[in-house]
């Protein structure tokens, strides 16, 4: 059993345990979230979902994402300009790097990250809820193709 299947089972279980119903819409949303590792935004999830259930509305996705976020079964990566992206494959908080050209959003391994929360808590006295590290840049591929539009 691969991680996608595990994630699907885990999310389904969590939803049901918390008293939520596993509707056809939600099943598909869970499938999408457990499989995709490209951190889709609501609109992208909507596009896929609409193919299988054409009557679905975006509101359903937003509502389900909110539930999953509260259950910590999906990680929300917040943007101010573009819409949020969601990681259901690996919902444990981790830093990301975002290419501002091709919009790709990738995981980033930083061994300092996991200690940060506790360190900040100690240093500031804040009760830390979430720690968002988001890096914007240009990925190696886009660096090649963007040489011509440099001034």
CA distance 21 to 45: 19
Q: Which of 9, 43, 114, 136 binds a second copy (CB under 8 A)?
A: 136
Q: Which of residues 70-129 bind DNA (CB under 7 A)?
A: 80-84
- 58 touches a second copy by CB under 8 A: no
Residue from 52, 6, 95 nearest 87 by CA: 95
- 53 touches a second copy by CB under 8 A: no
- 135 touches a second copy by CB under 8 A: yes
- 67 touches a second copy by CB under 8 A: no
- 119 touches a second copy by CB under 8 A: yes
Find which of a second copy, DNA, none residue 21 binds, CB within 5 to 8 Å per kind. Answer: DNA
Q: Which of residues 71-100 bind a second copy (CB under 8 A)?
A: 78-81, 84, 97, 99-100
Burial 80-91 (b: 16+ CB within 10 A, else e): eeeeebbbbbeb
CA distances from 26 to 20, 21, 56, 57 (A): 10, 8, 11, 12
CA distance 89 to 31: 10
Residue from 129, 20, 130 nearest 67 by CA: 20
CA distance 31 to 6: 11
Q: Which is nearer to a second copy, 59 or 135 (CB)?
A: 135
- 26 touches DNA by CB under 7 A: yes
Report the nearest approach of DNA to the CB of residue 151 (Å).
17
Q: Interface with a second copy by CB under 8 A: which residues?
A: 78-81, 84, 97, 99-100, 106, 108-110, 112, 116-117, 119-121, 123-140, 143
């Amino acid at each position: 059993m691969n991680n996608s299947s595990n994630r699907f089972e885990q999310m389904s279980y969590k939803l049901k345990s918390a008293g939520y119903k596993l509707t056809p819409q939600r099943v598909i949303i869970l499938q999408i979230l457990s499989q995709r590792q490209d951190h889709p935004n609501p609109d992208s999830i909507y596009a896929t979902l609409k193919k299988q259930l054409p009557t679905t509305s975006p509101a359903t996705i937003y509502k389900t994402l909110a539930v999953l976020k509260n259950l910590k079964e999906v990680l929300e990566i917040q943007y101010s300009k573009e819409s949020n992206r969601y990681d259901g494959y690996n919902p444990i908080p981790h830093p990301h790097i975002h290419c501002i050209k091709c919009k790709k959003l990738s995981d980033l391994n930083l061994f300092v990250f996991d200690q940060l929360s506790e360190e900040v808590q100690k240093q500031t006295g804040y009760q830390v809820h979430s720690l968002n590290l988001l890096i914007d840049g240009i990925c190696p591929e886009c660096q090649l193709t963007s040489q011509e539009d440099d001034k």
